[in-house]
Amino acid sequence: MNKGLFREDLFFRLNVITLDLPPLRDRDDDIFLLIHHFAKKFAQELNRPAPGFSDQALQVLRNYHWPGNVRELENVLQRLVVMTEGTLIEVPDLPSLLRFSPLRGKGLRRPLAEVEAEYIRNVLAEVNGNRTRAAEILGIDRKTLREKLRKGEPSSPA
């Protein structure tokens, strides 16, 4: 209003109730509820059953920082329901922006080994566990990948 970009009378007409709503990235429980709501909504529109989500896909969706809040989540779910042919949405079905974005909330206070292990897991999920292809994408040989997996995740088969 001060810059003359928004009419003062319109502002006061619209400013009846102020709602302070935290961003979606700060509402983990809401993310899961909205994922299932939008999946069901868009599946009904297409006359198909609502898809399920793998635990890994839900984890990626939960960890994404959602700068576009609920509208962005809704758009992603619409895309997933329209574009996914199966009944289960897996990590490779997710848009690459979500799969390869840094974890929210942890910021820069993470050891490099943790960030590297997370990135390797994301690449492996993208190529459905194909270690040869993952090593190519990562620019390392298969033996190095095997060593990194062994160091980063002791329970992971090498």
Token reading at 131 = 């270690």
Q: What does the pLDDT look like over 63-86, one tens digit per residue?
A: 888 999 999 999 999 999 999 888
16 vs 42: CA distance, rounded Å? 33
Whether 130 and 82 map to the same domain: the answer is no
Same domain (yes/no): 75, 117: no
Domain assignment of residue 43, yes or no: yes
In-domain check, residue 139: yes
> Is the pLDDT at 130 greater than 70, yes or no?
yes
Extended strands (E) in the chain: 52-53, 88-89
**Does residue 106 carry a pLDDT above 60?**
no
The whole domain housing 29 covers: 22-88
Over residues 30-37, the mean pLDDT reads: 95
- Per the domain annotation, does 8 fall within a domain? no
Residue 29 has pLDDT above 90, yes or no: no
- Cα–Cα distances (Å) from 153 to 113, 116, 126, 137, in that order, read 11, 11, 18, 20
Q: What is the CATH number of the domain that holds 148?
A: 1.10.10.60
pLDDT of residue 100: 76
- Give the number of other Cβ atoms within 10 Å of residue 34's Cβ: 18
**Quick one: tokens of 8?**
């003062």
Asked whether residue 57 is domain-assigned, the answer is: yes
Query: Rounded distance, CA 64 to CA 143, Å?
Result: 31
- In 3D space, the residue among 136, 35, 129 whose CA is nearest the CA of residue 80 turns out to be 35
Residues with Cβ within 8 Å of 71's Cβ and at least 6 positions away in sequence, in order, are: none
Question: In terms of pLDDT, which residue wins out, 52 or 19?
Answer: 52
pLDDT for position 129 = 86
Give residue 112's pLDDT: 79
Tell me how many domains the chain contains: 2
